[in-house]
Amino acid sequence: MKARLIMPLLLVCRAVSAEPSELPSVVDNSMYPEVEVGAAVKPSSANNALYEMMKQLEQLQVEVRQLTGKVEEQAYLIAEMKKSQGTMYSDFDGRMQSLEKKAEGVKPAAAENPQAQEGSVVSDAKTAEPPVEAVPDAKQQAPAPKQDVVKAAGDEKQQYQQAYEALRNGHTAQAIAEFNALLGKNPKGEYANNAQYWLGEAYRVNQDIESARKAFNSVIENYPGSSKVPDALLKLGYIEVEQKNAAKAREYLTRVTTDFPGSTAARLAAKKILLLDDIK
């Protein structure tokens, strides 16, 4: 009887006293997506593409900086050229005005003795004869029927430069004669538009207002594509200012600023317009 009771107790004690075996930990992978084979390679390819794009972007930025520098340099050079051109234009215009004053001063003497003023600044181109060797007779200047084209162009340039130098040196009568001779010989020549303009300047210096108007208007009418057109309009405006004709002066000067904005002539015209209210 006792043996029967002891055996179950021993079995129970042995079961209780036995150490429990360690169970493996459970990992819940339900929150992590499955990784496909080859997925580890993709980040490397994307990085390479991004690196190439950044490299190209840096190269483009360098090129843009270089182009910006060139644009700024060109803008500076253009500004300097405009400034220099304006200074030269003002200086030459000042010289023309100085010649005009000299012409006014010698006008009485020229009327009494026109031969004494030969080859120098005079008040009337008709009273002063230019040097014979500088301005040959119009008949002698007639072109030969079969004159070589290249030689003709060279002769035209030489004649133009000679007339221009005469004007610069104050020999307006000589310049008028030579510019007229050039235009009579080559009315459509390479230097015709410039010759027509400087002819107007020579007349203006000589106080031959009507001839100056006609010469400047010829530039506008006969050579509409010439770079001298804005200058001719400007000088027509100056003439009207000198003649106290404010309305006509404003018309010419406004045409310059409207039709040729940004030009040196337009800048000078704008300055002159501001002074028109002072004309009485």
The string of pLDDT tens digits covering residues 37-57 is 444 445 567 778 887 888 888
* Domain boundaries of the chain, sorted by first residue: 75-226
Dist CA 141 CA 241 (whole Å): 38
**Above 60 in pLDDT, residue 278?**
yes
Poorest-pLDDT segment among 49-63, 163-177, 193-207, 251-265: 49-63
At residue 64, the pLDDT reads: 85
- 200-243 pLDDT, tens digit each: 999 999 999 999 999 999 999 999 999 999 999 999 999 999 99
At residue 55, the pLDDT reads: 81
Poorest-pLDDT segment among 138-142, 196-200, 273-277: 138-142
**Above 90 in pLDDT, residue 255?**
yes
Residue 63 has which token pair? Answer: 């090129």
- The answer to whether 197 and 185 have CB atoms below 8 angstroms apart is no
At residue 67, the pLDDT reads: 80
Dist CA 204 CA 256 (whole Å): 19
At residue 225, the pLDDT reads: 94
At residue 114, the pLDDT reads: 35
Indicate the CATH number of 75-226 among 1.10.3470, 1.25.40, 2.60.40, 3.40.50: 1.25.40
Question: Among candidates 153, 147, 150, 176, which has minimal Cα distance to 163?
Answer: 176
**Greater confidence, 145 or 276?**
276
At residue 207, the pLDDT reads: 93
At residue 129, the pLDDT reads: 36
- The answer to whether 139 and 155 have CB atoms below 8 angstroms apart is no
